[in-house]
Structures are given as C-alpha cells and as structure tokens.
C-alpha cells in the first residue's frame, strides 16, 4: 500500500482469478474500502480460441467466485480488440523481425494500466489495485516512487517499469510488502477458493508445449522465414523453420545433434540466419543500446549516471553506466559482461530497489551500435 493510503474511496481491483489478486481484494475489503472486482477479457471467444489461462474462461470464473465470497460486485471488461491491436500485433511484428518481445510489459502499459485504469475512473473509482509484487512510496516532492516487491523471488517491478507518473498516482499494490508464503497463508485463513491456485502463466494464449510466437504467426498469417543455422564462421550446420522460433541464449529446439552443445548467439533477420555457438561464454556482452526509453526517476543527464540494469525478468540487475546517445535512446556499459542480451526485451534501470525507467533493447553485445528498428 502506498504511503498516505486513501480511505473510504471506491477501489477497482484487477482480479485475474489467482491468489495474489484475490488476497489484494480481501485486504482492501478488510480495511473498509468500497471494492469492485474487474477481470479483463483479453481474447475474444468468437473465433473459438479463447484461452483457458488466467485471462480466459477459467480466470473469469475463479475471479467471479472470489468476488462472491467477498461480497463485492464483479465486472468483466472486454479488451479483446485493444489487446489484439496494441499487444499481440506488435509482439508478432517483433518476432517476425527476429526480436524477442515481452508481451507482459506491453499489456501492463497499454491494457491493464491503460484501458482498465480508464474504465475504473469512468466507474468513479479513485484507485486501481492489482496483485503485483511491487511497492509504491511517496517521494520528497509528493511524487510516486515505484519500488521492488519485498519478496525477491516474486518481485514484478520489472513488468511495471514503463508506467507513467499519472498512472502510478492511481495505483495500489496491496501484496507488494508481503512474501508469497504470507499471501498463501492469508488466503487460507480467509478460506478463499484460490488459496492453492497455481501460478499464472507468463503469457496469455499459451498452453503446455505451445510456442507463443508460432501461435501469433498463425493468428496474423505471418511468414515463417525459414533459413540456415550457421556457426560463427558462417558454416551451415542445418536449417530452421522460422526466425520467430529463436532467441539469444536459446539451446533447445536447434536439432543439431552432430554439432554438440550449441546456443543461439544471434538471430540475423537480414538473411533469416540463426547463428549458434558452442562456447557459452561468447553469449556474454558488456553493453547494449536501448531505445524509446521512459523515466520515472533521474535519467542519465549530461554526464550519464551509474545504476543497475536488468535485461530480462529472470535476471539479476547488474551495475552499469548509462549515457544518452540520441533522442529517447541510451547506451549501457556493464561493469561485467551479461549473458544473452536479446534485442526486443526491456532493459529496466534501478537505483537499489527503486525503478528509474525502461527502454527497449535495440542491440547488445561487445561492440554495440545504434541500429535496428525501434519499437513503435
């Protein structure tokens, strides 16, 4: 909960049907707020492909059951068209260009804390709460500070780094100061039906054994762009079925039994080639360029700044020096090399626990340069 929490106001809680958002809603009810539950419908059932994931039929059913338990109203907010155009289409465009996108960041920025927040305001709510493991505090000038969640194993501040100040001023994260074990215990004490619910999937639409990139290719009628798999000298080792199936650092799915242990070093969109290496150490790079950066805290300024930079969700932030190198673009030099810097992923900047900002990685490696198409 943010410092100086509101009282006696209407709060919309984004309920996914999982334990975290269920406990978030329950805690706010305990504190006497007027709580309204809302679940996003992100995929239309008109084409028969609605996911049974956290954002599909099962999630809506579980969220409605929790709302009934808590005695609060529950709404389903249909964002399928916006999700298709603002999240899924840009994600496929990235895959088609050989990049590795992060759908969850786009969904948070454009749908959950865009469309849903607007819906909450239209309903007369002052606040939108979610079950994210992140924290908000008030800075010395009254500005919101976005911080990591206290549970380092569940911290989700990486996924929220692209939000703006206006959005943060209307948000609450009730479980951000708790660990997962405590959240489970609170759910059990309240006999919530989601107390033992499995963890939500990282990507909507995807079931066990399915590949998001391939599902999106089929959805949008995209080309698979098959091509060669080559080693670092250019020698052809095999063929692949499409560059959208690969990301930097990947080992599985190469089907190169004669080449021994190999990892993807580069997805080369120009000629649809997948460059592999047998030396895992060569996957490490000491710099990157990030475009379309947005800042919640002090940016690099004229002389740059030192901070920690996280290049993907399951990655420990590393100390780095960040400098501006163009409009909305920064260069990052790490103190020590970082494994598998993938264009298309988000680089999130931290000062300790505080989130400073976010940029989209356009290039990375030992000798990075500003190139490639920036995310629209």
- For residue 376, the model assigns a pLDDT of 36
Average pLDDT over residues 22-34: 97
Q: Tell me if 356 sits within 8 A of 295, measured CB to CB.
A: yes
CA–CA distance, 59 with 75 (Å, rounded to integer): 13
Answer yes or no: do 167 and 229 share one domain: no
Is there a domain that residue 288 lies in? yes
Residue 21 lies in a domain: yes
Is 55 strand, coil or helix? coil
Residue 352 neighbours by CB distance under 10 Å: 10
Whether residue 142 is found in the same domain as residue 84:
yes
Predicted confidence band at 176 (pLDDT cuts at 50, 70, 90)?
Answer: very high
In this prediction, residue 257 carries a pLDDT of 73
Answer yes or no: do 185 and 229 share one domain: no
* pLDDT tens-digit series, residues 220-248: 999 999 999 999 999 999 999 999 999 99
Residue 199 lies in a domain: no
DSSP category for residue 11: E
- What is the arithmetic mean of pLDDT over 40-52? 64
Q: C-alpha dihedral over 233, 237, 241, 243, to 10 degrees?
A: -20
Indicate whether 203 belongs to any domain: no
Question: What is the DSSP pairing of strand 263-268 with strand 273-277?
Answer: antiparallel
pTM above 0.85, yes or no: yes
52 or 178, higher pLDDT: 178
Q: Residue 216 falls within a domain, yes or no?
A: no
Q: What is the pLDDT of residues 332-347, one digit of tens each?
A: 999 999 999 999 999 9
- Give the model confidence (pLDDT) of 245-259 as tens digits: 999 999 988 888 776
Residues 274 and 291 in one domain: no
Q: Mean pLDDT over residues 315-325, rounded?
A: 96
Whether 204 is catalytic: yes
Catalytic residue (choose from 79, 204, 262, 307):
204
Q: Is 167 domain-assigned? A: yes
- Considering the domain architecture, whether residues 56 and 118 belong to the same structural domain is answered as yes
**Mean pLDDT value across residues 297-306:** 91
Structural tokens at position 181: 């074990």
**Would you place residue 374 in the very low, low, confident or very high pLDDT band (cuts 50, 70, 90)?**
very low
Query: What percentage of residues in the chain have a pLDDT greater than 70?
Result: 88
Q: Kindly name the residue from 107, 262, 307, 325 that is annotated as catalytic.
A: 107
**31 and 177 housed in the same domain:** yes
Q: How far apart are CA 349 and CA 49, in angstroms?
A: 37
User: Are residues 130 and 229 part of one domain?
Assistant: no
Average pLDDT, the chain: 89
Provide the domain count of the chain: 3
Given 251, 278, 305, the domain boundary residue is 278
Q: What is the pLDDT of residue 365?
A: 60
Q: Which domain holds residue 245?
A: 223-278
Looking at the structure, tell me whether residues 172 and 319 fall in a common domain: no
Output the domain CATH number for residue 267.
2.30.30.280
Same-domain check for residues 33 and 178: yes
Split at pLDDT 50, 70, 90, the class of 368 is very low
Q: Per-residue pLDDT tens for 91-139? A: 999 999 999 999 999 999 999 999 999 999 999 999 999 999 999 999 9
305 and 234: one domain?
Answer: no
Q: Specify the pairing of strand 273-277 against strand 284-295.
A: unpaired
Q: Are residues 339 and 262 part of one domain?
A: no
Domain boundary among 278, 295, 322: 278
**Residue of 42 and 373 predicted with greater confidence:** 42
**What is the average per-residue pLDDT within 151-177?**
96
Q: Determine the pLDDT at residue 55.
A: 55
Whether 29 is catalytic is no
Phi-psi region of 255 (alpha: psi -120 to 50; beta: other; left: phi over 0): left
Query: In this structure, what CATH number is given to the domain that contains residue 52?
Result: 3.40.50.620
Q: What is the pLDDT of residue 261?
A: 87
Indicate whether 163 and 238 sit together in one domain.
Answer: no
pLDDT value of residue 202: 53
Q: Helix H segments across 53-162?
A: 57-70, 80-83, 89-96, 103-107, 116-122
Residue 129 lies in a domain: yes
Residue 299 maps to which CATH number? Answer: 2.40.30.10
State how beta strands 171-172 and 127-129 pair.
parallel
> Is residue 177 in a domain?
yes
């Amino acid at each position: 909960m943010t410092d100086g929490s509101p009282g006696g106001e209407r709060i919309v809680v984004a309920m996914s049907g999982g334990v975290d958002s269920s406990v978030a809603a329950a805690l706010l009810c305990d504190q006497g707020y007027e709580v309204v539950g809302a679940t996003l419908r992100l995929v239309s059932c008109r084409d028969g492909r609605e996911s049974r994931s956290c954002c599909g039929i099962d999630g809506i059913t579980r969220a409605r059951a929790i709302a009934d338990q808590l005695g609060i109203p529950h709404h389903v907010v249909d964002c399928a068209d916006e999700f298709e155009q603002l999240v899924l289409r840009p994600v496929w465009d990235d895959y088609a260009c050989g990049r590795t996108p992060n759908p969850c960041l786009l969904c948070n920025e454009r749908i959950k804390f865009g469309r849903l927040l607007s819906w909450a305001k239209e309903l007369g709510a002052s606040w939108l709460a979610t079950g994210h493991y992140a924290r908000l505090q008030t800075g010395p000038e009254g500005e919101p500070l976005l911080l990591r969640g206290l549970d380092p194993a569940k911290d989700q501040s990486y996924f929220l780094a692209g939000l703006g100040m206006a959005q943060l001023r209307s948000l609450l994260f009730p479980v951000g100061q708790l660990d997962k074990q405590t959240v489970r215990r609170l759910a059990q004490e309240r006999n919530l039906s989601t107390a033992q619910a499995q963890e939500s999937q990282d990507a909507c639409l995807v079931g066990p054994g399915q590949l998001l990139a391939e599902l999106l290719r089929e959805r949008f009628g995209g080309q698979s762009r098959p091509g060669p798999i080559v080693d670092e000298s250019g020698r052809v080792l095999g063929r692949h079925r499409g560059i959208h199936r690969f990301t930097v650092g990947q080992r599985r799915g190469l089907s190169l039994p004669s080449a021994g242990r190999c990892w993807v070093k580069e997805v080369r969109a120009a000629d649809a080639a997948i460059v592999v290496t047998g030396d895992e150490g060569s996957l490490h790079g000491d710099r990157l360029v990030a475009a379309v950066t947005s800042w919640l805290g002090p940016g690099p300024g004229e002389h740059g700044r030192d901070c920690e930079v996280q290049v993907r969700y399951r990655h420990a932030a590393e100390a780095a020096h960040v400098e501006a190198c163009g409009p909305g673009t920064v260069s990052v030099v790490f103190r020590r090399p970082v494994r598998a810097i993938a264009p298309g992923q988000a680089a999130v900047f931290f000062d300790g626990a505080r989130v400073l900002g976010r940029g989209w990685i356009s290039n990375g490696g030992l000798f990075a340069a500003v190139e490639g198409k920036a995310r629209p």
